[in-house]
Chains A and B, each alone.
Chain A
Amino acid sequence: MSPDNRKKQKKQGRKKNKVNMDFKEKLAEVLELPKEVVLDVPKITMIGNSSLVVENYKGIVEYGNERIRVNTAKGLVKIQGDCLTIREITSEDIVVMGKIGSLEFME
């Protein structure tokens, strides 16, 4: 298999994946199902700038007082702020408390 061919295949796979995603998203919309369950994407809830909940995450990449990076299906989520602490952590969700400055998705 030539590298070209392989690239093509990968592209095709991605395309297929994208179609699949679109379909699932539509299905979720039509059936009014919670998207984070159907699409396996994180649900991020913020209360002001003091509390942040990331549901459906994959794991912690970095954890510090100023910066927390969480791995999700949509890529890395970077939370920056001051005095960040993890209030609770289970396999489903992570509750971050502190003074949150910014939230960023990193592909």
Chain B
Amino acid sequence: MLLLRLWNYLRGYVIILVEGYFLERFINICTHRQVFLWDIQRRNDLTMTLKVSIKGFKMLRPISRKSRCRVRIIKKKGLPFFLNRYKRRKAFVFGVILFFVLFNLLASFIWDVEISGNKEIRTADILQKLAVLGVKPGVLKYRINADRVAKTLILQIKELSWVSFEIRGTKAKLSIEERRQPPSLIPKDVPCNIVAERDGIIHSIIVKNGREVVKEGDTIVKGQLLVSGVMENEREPGQKRLVHSIAEIKARTWYEGNGTTNVKAIEAIRTGNVKSVYTLILFNKKIKLPLNKGIDFQNYDKVELKKVLQVGENFILPFWLVIEEYYENKLVEKELSIEEAKIIARDNALKKLMKIIPDDAKIINQIIDYTQSEEGLITANVIIECIEDIGITEEIGGE
């Protein structure tokens, strides 16, 4: 019954009102001519309502004339009428179709390339390599052979140990793992010397293999031989034996650096005025929105926000909105006290030094000198004394 109703709905039907003296005759003629009627209800002596399919309704005109009944439509029901209503709204139908076409069209392009896992290799370099392989925003995604891209990439970039490339929605996702370069160790069976990595004074020296050349307290310069792998036979002079030197040599080293500050510092304070510039990026083309006013700030900070139209995580559409916010700054001249300036200068110097000093070095002393020039420039001169491992191996055969 439900199925029948559904079928009737799909085919479309009309509810009609029949008026006349010979309603039975009307029904009989209908059944005779194979017009299917249902839900016949008598209203009163002269009228009844019934349902008839669209096809059947077209055959009713001669029947009504024959039975001298008047037929009037009360209601049109079903899918054909529903569709007919939308047939007139051409723009609407067109819009619906256009939406699906555009959606599918846009979904078949790559709009974003995401790279994750790189530490040493620059993202721009990988992007360029990918572009050469045909993976860049605006490329049809069906043209990309993900498997081939991954394989080619791992061959082309030597630093990669693992590559995973996949296309998710409109996003091309590349995950990589970099190969960690093994330290250039000299194999144990190859004879070697130990030389100084940098200038310093020997703090302690413990030799496990090899011949000691320097002793504790000696001043050494960079590259100086500390432990020799050439062993001389004491009983038979002239006879030499080469060994792989092993030694633990610690030395005191010094690092010097300086930092400066001006006592009269200029500080930027945000005034609270903000102006935003909206830029629309459609298909990698920049369109500046007309509601921009010129930025007339003398001094400003710029904050850039990038928003993308996306459905879910992976379905990115090629519409970006870039909001550049300009915060106006007021420059305020501020005079620092000498103490404050000293701290800043010292911090600057230390910051520079920390980059140079190796991680395993132990700082034992630091000497800071301050000098002040006539223009109010304060210079902090920092000398840091460390104890660190200074020996590096060097193959004998190389010399």
A interface vs B, CB < 8 Å?
A: 59-65, 84-91
In the complex the two chains form, is B24's CB within 8 Å of A63's CB? yes
Q: B152 an interface residue at 8 Å Cβ cutoff?
A: no
In the complex the two chains form, is B28's CB within 8 Å of A85's CB? no
Least distance between A65 CB and chain B CB atoms (Å): 5
List 10 additional contacts besides A85-B42, A86-B40, A88-B36; criterion CB under 8 Å.
Answer: A59-B24, A59-B28, A59-B31, A60-B24, A60-B28, A63-B40, A85-B39, A87-B40, A89-B30, A91-B34
Least distance between B146 CB and chain A CB atoms (Å): 59
Q: B90 an interface residue at 8 Å Cβ cutoff?
A: no
In the complex the two chains form, is A63's CB within 8 Å of B23's CB? yes
| B1-40 vs A, Cβ < 8 Å mask (1 yes, 0 no) | 0000000000000000000000110011011101011111
**Bound form: Cα–Cα A58–B45 in Å:** 23
In the complex the two chains form, is A85's CB within 8 Å of B24's CB? no
Least distance between A100 CB and chain B CB atoms (Å): 15
Q: B271 an interface residue at 8 Å Cβ cutoff?
A: no
Say what secondary structure dominates the interface of chain A: strand
Q: B123 an interface residue at 8 Å Cβ cutoff?
A: no
| B92-117 vs A, Cβ < 8 Å mask (1 yes, 0 no) | 00000000000000000000000000
Interface size range of chain B in the complex: 10 to 19
In the complex the two chains form, is B38's CB within 8 Å of A63's CB? no
**Bound form: Cα–Cα A105–B267 in Å:** 111
Q: B310 an interface residue at 8 Å Cβ cutoff?
A: no
Number of A-B contacts (CB under 8 A): 47
The answer to whether residues A62 and B37 also contact, given A89-B31, A91-B31, A91-B32 and a CB cut-off of 8 A, is: no
Least distance between A79 CB and chain B CB atoms (Å): 13
Q: Taking CB as reference atom, which chain B residue is nearest A95? A: B38
**Bound form: Cα–Cα A36–B234 in Å:** 133
Least distance between A101 CB and chain B CB atoms (Å): 16
Q: B145 an interface residue at 8 Å Cβ cutoff?
A: no
User: Which residues of the other chain, B, contact A64 by a CB distance below 8 angstroms?
Assistant: 42, 45
Least distance between B102 CB and chain A CB atoms (Å): 47
Say what secondary structure dominates the interface of chain B: mixed
In the complex the two chains form, is A87's CB within 8 Å of B38's CB? yes
**Bound form: Cα–Cα A63–B36 in Å:** 17
Q: B292 an interface residue at 8 Å Cβ cutoff?
A: no
Q: Taking CB as reference atom, which chain A residue is nearest B44? A: A65
In the complex the two chains form, is B24's CB within 8 Å of A89's CB? no
Q: Taking CB as reference atom, which chain B residue is nearest A61? A: B24
**Bound form: Cα–Cα A2–B289 in Å:** 111
Q: B128 an interface residue at 8 Å Cβ cutoff?
A: no
User: Which residues of the other chain, A, contact B40 by a CB distance below 8 angstroms?
Assistant: 63, 85-87, 89
**Bound form: Cα–Cα A86–B37 in Å:** 9
Least distance between B28 CB and chain A CB atoms (Å): 4
In the complex the two chains form, is A63's CB within 8 Å of B31's CB? no
**Bound form: Cα–Cα A61–B23 in Å:** 10
Q: B161 an interface residue at 8 Å Cβ cutoff?
A: no
In the complex the two chains form, is A90's CB within 8 Å of B42's CB? no
**Bound form: Cα–Cα A85–B38 in Å:** 9
Q: Taking CB as reference atom, which chain B residue is nearest A84? A: B42
**Bound form: Cα–Cα A64–B42 in Å:** 6
**Bound form: Cα–Cα A63–B37 in Å:** 14
**Bound form: Cα–Cα A63–B48 in Å:** 10
The answer to whether residues A90 and B24 also contact, given A64-B42, A65-B42, A85-B41 and a CB cut-off of 8 A, is: no
**B38 touches which one: A60, A61, A62, A89 (CB < 8 A)?**
A89
**Bound form: Cα–Cα A84–B42 in Å:** 8
Least distance between B83 CB and chain A CB atoms (Å): 26
**Bound form: Cα–Cα A91–B24 in Å:** 14
